[in-house]
Chain A
Amino acid sequence: MIAELKPYLFIALAGWIATDIWRWLGVLAGNRLREDSEALYWVRAVATALVMAVTAKLIVFPTGTLAASPLWIRLTAAGGGFAAFLLAGQRIPVGVITAILLLAGLLVLMP
């Protein structure tokens, strides 16, 4: 019984607590921020830079099957999708679909 629960205890400590502790600190910090405060500008900037750093790493250094694909194909697909998104008046589906089609097309044509 105890042995069966061990991996769950492991996940609860090294996963659950390790992530939720930051969410709870975020609530305590955010509760002190006024909506129009200068500090909130900084918090927004740091949150966005952190998320975009993680996102860009997923494109430049992917894991799984894409890890073997050429970098230029991934950059062309992401950049082309973003350009199409801007040209289409910032329509999100246009950007996503263009990027996916470019990626699939280039992977098939240039194996």
Chain B
Amino acid sequence: MSSDRISSSGLGWFLTGARGIFSLPALILMTSFVGFSAFALESGISRGEAVFMTLSIWALPAKMILIGSMTSGAGLAACFIAVTLSSVRMMPMVASIVPEMRTQRTPVWLLLFLSHFVAITAWVFTNNTIHHVPREARIAYFAGFGITLTLVNTVIVAVCYGLVAAFPPLVAGVLFFLTPVYFVVSIWATARHAVVRIAFVIGVVAGPLFAMIEPEFDVLYAGVGGGTLAYLIDRALRKRALAAKEKAS
């Protein structure tokens, strides 16, 4: 990546971002969307509906939950609540990358439009690479990656729907496992602040724990409660480090 050369070309950075489609996280997500098209067919969702979901909802867990609720015969309100509860994480995810992406001149409507392309993979990829991109090019770079990733996966769903009825169980299992395993290692690898590693450990333990205690709001408790606990631990550690530094000097 030629981040040392200051490029004034927004298109150039858009294309640099678009080339991220050949990265490991993008390839793993694409295999997940092949799996999704098989799941949609199996659940009685039409090709057009599956394509529309991919373009309009984008986040894979939200789509799985919507299909699960729809096929169980839940009404509009119940489906909305199930999907929206599972998508609360989008707010802190987007909020944590916006301060690193925008400049003082970035219009809000552009951020609102681009936020649609944020899901876990794009979030991890952005956290991982945005620091190699000059600030004024970050919006173009993210747009290139996010829009390309969404459109390519929409095409994958359109093409693969009906093509793959079902994988052999072992292949399906391995494909399903790729995504969480990738998130585990990549989020740890891209953590630039100690607070992220502390929240990582607490989230991993609290997620399954709360799923057994309070299955309806488990992710909310684990995320908001666990995240706040991680923040408090990190703040105490930072204060202690600062005090030790002042004592030493």
Contacts and interface: CB of A to CB of B under 8 A. Distances in A.
Contacts of A53: 203-204, 206-207, 210, 218-219, 222-223, 226
A11 B66 contact: yes
Contact of B95 (A7, A29, A59): A29
B53 A15 contact: yes
Nearest to A84: B185
Contacts of A27: 94-95, 98, 108, 111-112, 115
A96 B173 CA distance: 14
Given A20-B116, A44-B199, A78-B184, A11 B208 contact: no
B84 A50 contact: no
Contact of B84 (A21, A33, A90): A21
Judged by DSSP, the binding face of A is helix
Judged by DSSP, the binding face of B is helix
Choose among A56, A65, A90, A104 the residue with the greatest number of B CB atoms under 10 Å from its CB. Answer: A56
B207 A14 contact: no
A104 to B, nearest CB: 6
A90 B192 CA distance: 13
Interface residues of A, number: 74
Contact of A45 (B62, B178, B199): B199
A87 interface: no
A54 interface: yes
A104 B173 CA distance: 8
Nearest to A66: B173
B84 A30 contact: no
Contacts of B181: 59, 77-78, 81, 95-96, 99-100
Interface of A: 7-8, 10-31, 33-35, 37-38, 40-66, 69, 74, 77-78, 81-82, 85, 90, 92-93, 95-96, 99-100, 103-104, 107-108
5 contacts: A15-B56, A17-B80, A49-B222, A82-B185, A92-B186
Which 5 pairs from chain A and chain B are nearest by CB? Answer: A26-B94, A30-B98, A52-B203, A53-B207, A50-B223
Given A100-B181, A104-B174, 9 more contacts: A20-B116, A22-B91, A23-B116, A27-B112, A45-B234, A52-B204, A57-B211, A57-B219, A85-B185
